[in-house]
A and B are shown apart, each in its own frame.
Chain A
Amino acid sequence: MTTRNTSRRNFLLGGAAAASVPLLNACGVGGSTADNSGAAANDVTGGFDWKKASGTKIKILQTPHPYQQSFQPLLSEFTELTGIEVQADLVAEADYFTKLNTELAGGTGAHDVFMTGAYFIWQYGPPGWMEDLDPWLKNTSATSPDYDFEDIYEGLRTSTRWDFKPGSPLGTGGQWAIPWGFETNVIAYNKRLFASRGVKPAETFDDLIQLATDLTDRSKNQYGIAFRGSKSWATIHPGFMTQYSRMGCKDYTSEGGKLVAAMNSPEAVDFTAKWVQLAKAAGPTSWTTYEYPDCTRDLGNGNAAMVYDADSATYPKNKPGASKEAGNLAWHPGPAGPDGSYATNLWTWSLAMNAASKQKLAAWLFIQWATGKDAMSKATKAAFADPTRKSVFDGAFKQTLGAFPGYLETFEKVIDSTKIQFSPQTKFFETTEDWAVALQDIYAGQNAKSRLDALADSNTRKLAS
């Protein structure tokens, strides 16, 4: 889940990097030594051996997260298996991409491996900051015969693969990261409250609006549904984009290799107006500031009856002692579209290799180990929610789901339709934040049609420039 704001700070950094790195290069100081041509992968020959890079040391950059915490105790096992020492550095989630952006722009290869989200590939991939992992996957000298890349859910594999051509869909081009953990965006609800009111989760979007409104009682500080509303691209990607896609709406259409914004199509305008109406009638009173921790907090405290966000964001609130409503939470896929669609947007924390890394074989062995079956199974038994491998989900993860009513059924309902529902494009963060601003403007009273027309016009022009 993401509060990951690539905001003013990152824009400043981008500008600073663009201006300063070439200047430093000209002065003979620093600069990128990145080579993502796949040559390093092709240099690895002979039979596969985990000890091939024994005696080296790698640094990995991570953000505090249940995924990272589940793997932390296992790092010594990796060192024992490979003889590679690992230094794991942590940066708080709010500033993680600020730090990562600086590092990659600097081209120093300070960290060999880093956590990243799929959307960030669209920003970090085109400048050549990321290593294409496809040659590594294909090289049997570098990749264990037991690795089984196809075991990772298809929607995740394709979400981290792109050729960087505008209008080109995901799933073609280089493999820029390996999905590690992920989340689907569904509804978590308070089953104690639902039982006391004698209601069931809604199966259509109109029913969801009615249900959430019925469950709202402002005098008791209780409201129907929480979803994000802050001025951030991350407001669009969870519940909004999931339901938007289920209602048959598109963000862009491709016309002659150019992307044309479609968030002002009649069905998109209709859906957006209803979504904002839902926020007004049954959302938190300070919706325009809401990020996922606010949503899950309200669910855990019993203030929100439902949350439409990442399944793994709500999952920790049901653990004993973790919240007031722990043990009372349940999950539901959320409303299907008019045609029965369960199209669901995803977020995946993936592992990627710095193209400027000086220890690429060791880095690849780490990525391979961390996304492999054995380590992921062990981590899943700790706190790793939504492993990216089908075999691990069917094995270790199902054993941990006993106290989580509906979680498994929900997952199985949506997984085949779960993928990145956005059109990939290099100005994703800027244009999607504009989209969130448009939602806020409509919430403040502007006409949905005219505001979305202006947004679509602006975004189409931005992508053409």
Chain B
Amino acid sequence: MAREMMPGRRRFTAGSVGADLLILLWFVFSLFPIVWMVLLALKTRSQQTSTYFAFSPTLENFGTVMSRRGEDLTSVNFSGALLSSVLNCGGAVLVSLLIGIPAAYAAGRWKYRGSEDLMFQMLSFRFAPELMVVVPLFVIYNQTGLFDTTYGMIWVLQLVTMPLVVWILRSYFQDLSPELEQAALLDGYTRRRAFVMVALPLVRPGIAAAALLAFIFAWNNYVFPLILTDSEATTVTVAVTKFLGGGGQAYYNLTAAAALIGALPPLVLALTIQRYLVRGLSFGAVKA
């Protein structure tokens, strides 16, 4: 009779050890670009193109990227771009949540003629190649004064954030039993109050997950800020590439340092709301 394994215990066999080693190798291989970027960010300019691991590490690049010294050296105002990214993406997510949550609730609760078409239409914003819509947007933005402004970026980023928020939250509202709100209605709640007091608190993990994903997608967007901003509202993704320089004068070490700094805000945000995120992403994963 086969001996049953105790939960939490496993038998070590050559096969399982080999599998673990393979996974470990894959883990190292997958993470290597990140490791390389960290190493590059710690190198001086004369060491930046060397492929050796032995070098004298310095944190100076991070200071250079964020300071006036870096701007004088490369003409890139990275700290300004960082602030712009926070404002653009934070604003875009906020607007998407304000409009997208009621929209998702309505889409999740009521079916009407063309409702699926409408949802698909919204999703199709994510499918459209940005380069195909950016030229008319560029012309319109120049005509309306939205070019190179935070308001303009918040608006255009709705193409990125709104479909995510609506589609993710619609599934949460669909999974939520309508009896809860019906009970509240029986108790004399208005539909709006039932939504705010009953439904909304129950999908908080979903809101956190949707907001985080929308923020990350907005943060990573490149084409819209590239074309629709110049110096005032430009973002981290565009500013990082400027450190690459040109004409044989590249600052790979500063590029790596800027990229690491640029990756921090979404990372910190993800860690902060990790508790909600894990619950949120698994919520509704299994449907009857």
Contact = CB atoms under 8 A, between A and B. Distances in A.
Contacts of A68: 75
Contacts of A65: 245-247, 249
B46 A106 contact: no
Contact of B139 (A31, A69, A297, A315): A31
B250 A293 contact: yes
Interface string A314-353: 1111000111101000000000000000000000000000
Given A30-B139, A102-B227, A103-B138, A16 B245 contact: no
Interface string B129-143: 101111110111011
B75 A72 contact: yes
B226 A310 contact: no
A86 to B, nearest CB: 12
B49 interface: yes
B247 A16 contact: no
Contacts of A321: 45-46
Q: Is the interface of A mostly helix, strand, loop or mixed?
A: helix
A106 B76 CA distance: 26
Contacts of B142: 30, 106, 108, 110
B76 to A, nearest CB: 7
A326 to B, nearest CB: 7
A67 B227 CA distance: 23
Interface string A12-31: 11011100110110000111
Contacts of B242: 64, 90-92
A106 B139 contact: yes
The interface size bin for chain B is 35 or more
A94 B242 CA distance: 9
Given A29-B143, A72-B75, A316 B249 contact: yes
A107 B142 CA distance: 10
A436 B203 CA distance: 55
Contact of A108 (B138, B241, B248): B138
A293 B238 CA distance: 20
Contacts of A175: none
B16 interface: no
Given A30-B143, A296-B248, A322-B46, A102 B74 contact: no
Nearest to B245: A64
Given A64-B75, A92-B238, A21 B248 contact: no
A89 interface: yes
A99 interface: yes
A21 B247 contact: no
A66 interface: yes
Contacts of A102: 134-135, 138, 227
Contacts of A15: 132
A413 B249 CA distance: 25
A65 B249 CA distance: 7
A312 B131 CA distance: 33
Contacts of B50: 301, 324
A65 B248 CA distance: 8
A313 B140 CA distance: 39
A91 to B, nearest CB: 7
Contacts of A91: 226, 238, 242
A88 interface: yes
A103 B132 CA distance: 14
A31 B147 CA distance: 15
B200 interface: no
A64 B76 contact: yes
B38 interface: no
A41 interface: no
A72 B278 CA distance: 49
Contacts of B231: 87, 89-90
B224 to A, nearest CB: 12
Closest 6 CB pairs of A and B: A30-B139, A92-B241, A313-B248, A93-B246, A108-B142, A89-B230
24 contacts: A24-B136, A29-B139, A29-B140, A63-B246, A64-B76, A65-B246, A65-B249, A69-B75, A87-B231, A90-B75, A91-B226, A93-B245, A93-B246, A94-B244, A98-B227, A102-B135, A106-B138, A106-B139, A108-B139, A293-B248, A310-B248, A312-B247, A313-B248, A322-B45
